[in-house]
Structure 1
Amino acid sequence: MMHAITHLSMGLGWDPAHANGRHPRRRDIDLNAAALSFAGDNFVDVAYHEQLISRDGALRHLGDSVTGEGDGDNEVIVVDLAQVDPAVTTIVFLVTCYTGQRFDRIANGFCRVTDNVTGIELIRVDLDSVGAHTGMVVGKLHRPHQDWAFTMIAQPINAQHVVNAVPQLGVYLH
C-alpha cells in the first residue's frame, strides 16, 4: 500500500559556465526553481528566488544560486502539504533560466522531486533532454481524490522568469 504524499522537495542542479579559448568571458548561468499554487485556474501564491516562502508557509525556497557553484542540488524547494491553504488544488513545479541560456547548453543540469518521508526520488529529469528551451514545467501536485498525488510533466516552455511562465500553465491545472 502506498502512503499519502505529505512532504516533498524539488532539487535543481547545474554546473557553472566556464570560460574557454573561444569564449574568454564567461556568462554565469542562473537557473531558478519555483513552486506555484493555484485554486482551480486562479494563481494563488509562489515560492521562488524573489519570494522564498508562500503566505501559507507550505512552499519554501531554501536559497537562490546564481552560478551553479557546488555539488548536488543548487536550489531546493520544500513543500509541506499539511500547511497548504485548503483552497489550493494544484501546485506546479517550474524551472526557468533567468540568464536566458537554453537547457541543451547547460552542463549537467538536472531537476528532481523527492518524497521527504520515504527518501524516494519520484522523478529526475536531465535538463539537456528538454532541448532548446529556457523553461520547463517539471510536474504538479494535485488532489485527484482526497490525498495529494504527484504527476510528472517534464514539458518545455519558453520562459526566463516565473511571470512569463504563469500564462502557459493553465493547460496543466486539470
Structure 2
Amino acid sequence: MSVSLQKGQKISLDKEAGGALTRIVMGLGWDAIKKKGLFGFGSKSESVDLDASCLMFDEAGKAVDFVWFRQLKSRDGSIVHTGDNRTGAGDGDDEQIEVDLTKVPAQIKSLIFTVNSFTGQNFSQVENGYCRIVNAADQKEVARFDLSVQGAHTAQIMAKLYRHNGEWKMHAIGENGSGRTFDDLMPQITPHL
C-alpha cells in the first residue's frame, strides 16, 4: 500500500515496501496545460517541461554528483535518468530516475530529489503533477507526493533519501522554490542536509 506523503513526514522505505528495498524508481508525472479557444470553442494544449533531478551528497553535505536532463547517469552508475520529457503528454510517469541503492557508494549519505519548471510555468498552472517512489522489483508504489500545494513557485525540493542505521529512509520535504534547474535551489537545499 502506498503512503501519501505530507510535507515534513519521514518514513522507512524498507518498512513501507515490506522488506529491504534494493532498487527504486522516482517517477514524475504531469499533464500539458489545456486552454480553451476563443469564445470557449476549440482547445489547445500548452507544453510544460518539468524536470526531475537527483543530487548526491556526502556526510559533510558536499555535492558529489548530479543526475538530471543534462547528465542522465551518475558517474558511479548507480542512478540513471530515463530521459527528458518536454511536454507532459501521455499517461503515467513522464520522467523517471532509477536508483540502485545497493550500488550507491558508501560515502553518499543522502540523495535529494527536486522538480523544476524549465519552461517557467508555475505549479499552479500544471495539472495532475505528482512525484512517487516505486519499488523496482515489483513495480509497487511505496510513496506518493502530490504537487497539490499549488502556488506561484516554479520548483520544489521534493524529498530526501538518506542512510540511517543501515537502512534507507525518506523525508518528504515538499519545500517550494523558484528556478529553472536544481542549481537555483542549492541555497535552499543546504539546510536539509
When the two structures are superposed, what TM-score results if normalisation uses the length of structure 2?
Answer: 0.81
Within 5 Å, give how 1:47-58 maps onto structure 2: 47-58=67-78
Distance in 2 (CA, whole Å) between partners of 1:137 and 1:53 is 20
Contact 1:47 1:53 (C-alpha < 8 Å) held by counterparts: yes
- CA displacement at 1:154 relative to structure 2: 1.6
Q: Is 1:29 the equivalent of 2:48?
A: yes
Aligned length: 172
User: Which residue in the other structure is 2:105 paired with?
Assistant: 85
When the two structures are superposed, what TM-score results if normalisation uses the length of structure 1?
Answer: 0.89
Contact 1:32 1:95 (C-alpha < 8 Å) held by counterparts: yes
User: Which residue in the other structure is 2:157 paired with?
Assistant: 137
Cα offsets for 1:71-128 (capped at 9, x unmatched): 1100000100111122110001111111111111111111111222354423222223
User: Which residue in the other structure is 2:177 paired with?
Assistant: 157
Q: Is 1:46 the equivalent of 2:62?
A: no
SS at match of 1:94: strand
Identify the range of structure 1 (60-69 vs 108-117) with the bigger mean alpha-carbon deviation. 108-117
Q: Which amino acid aligns with 1:48?
A: W
SS at match of 2:75: coil
- CA displacement at 1:171 relative to structure 2: 1.3
Cα offsets for 1:21-53 (capped at 9, x unmatched): 36x886421000011100131001111111000
Distance in 2 (CA, whole Å) between partners of 1:14 and 1:27 is 12
Q: Identity of aligned pairs, percent?
A: 37
- 2:96 maps to which of 68, 76, 81: 76
Q: Which amino acid aligns with 1:18?
A: K
Q: Is 1:11 the equivalent of 2:27?
A: yes
- CA displacement at 1:19 relative to structure 2: 4.1
Contact 1:33 1:75 (C-alpha < 8 Å) held by counterparts: yes
- 1:146 maps to which of 158, 166, 179: 166
Write 1 or 2 for the structure with the bigger share of strand.
2
Distance in 1 (CA, whole Å) between partners of 2:138 and 2:144 is 16
- 1:106 maps to which of 126, 131, 138: 126
Q: Which amino acid aligns with 1:150?
A: M
| Alpha-carbon RMSD | 2.0
Q: Which amino acid aligns with 1:99?
A: T
Identify the range of structure 1 (146-155 vs 116-125) with the bigger mean alpha-carbon deviation. 116-125
Distance in 1 (CA, whole Å) between partners of 2:130 and 2:160 is 17
Structure 2: any 5+ residue segments left out of the alignment? 1-13
Q: Which amino acid aligns with 1:20?
A: K
SS at match of 1:171: helix
Q: Which has the higher contact order (CA 8 A, sep 6+)?
A: 2
